[in-house]
């Protein structure tokens, strides 16, 4: 009789532990759910990282583009910013090759 009671107690304990392992706090189901959430979060994080990198590259291109446009406007058109003074330097040797005295 005592062995039957002990067997039933042991079976009950094993059943409880198995239930707790699968369905309880920090059990297998919660682990799988958390792992799935982690994967989804990592995927979103990677997408956002790539988007940030693209935006950073686009911003750098725009900054560089503005600098290039400004350089061309200054060099080819002689444009100046407000408050700047424009000086044109003429090379004296450039005029000698054209036949002017």
pTM above 0.95, yes or no: no
Asked if residue 81 is part of any domain, the answer here is yes
Boundaries of domain holding 78: 2-96
Asked if residue 39 is part of any domain, the answer here is yes
In this structure, what are the phi and psi dihedrals at residue 94, rounded to the nearest 5 degrees?
-65, -35
* pLDDT tens digits for range 4-35: 999 999 999 999 998 888 888 888 888 899 99
Token pair in block for residue 71 = 């350089």
Asked if residue 77 is part of any domain, the answer here is yes
Asked if residue 101 is part of any domain, the answer here is no
**Number of structural domains found in the chain:** 1
- Report yes or no: 86 and 78 within 8 Å, Cβ to Cβ: yes
């Amino acid at each position: 009789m005592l062995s039957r009671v002990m067997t039933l107690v042991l079976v009950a304990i094993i059943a409880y532990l198995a239930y707790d392992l699968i369905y309880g706090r920090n059990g297998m189901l919660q682990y799988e759910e958390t792992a799935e959430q982690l994967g989804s979060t990592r995927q979103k994080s990677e997408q956002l990282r790539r988007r940030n990198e693209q935006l950073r590259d686009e911003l750098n291109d725009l900054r560089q583009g503005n600098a290039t446009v400004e350089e061309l406007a200054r060099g080819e058109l002689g444009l100046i910013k407000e408050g700047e003074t424009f000086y044109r330097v003429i090379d004296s040797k450039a005029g000698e090759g054209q036949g002017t005295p």
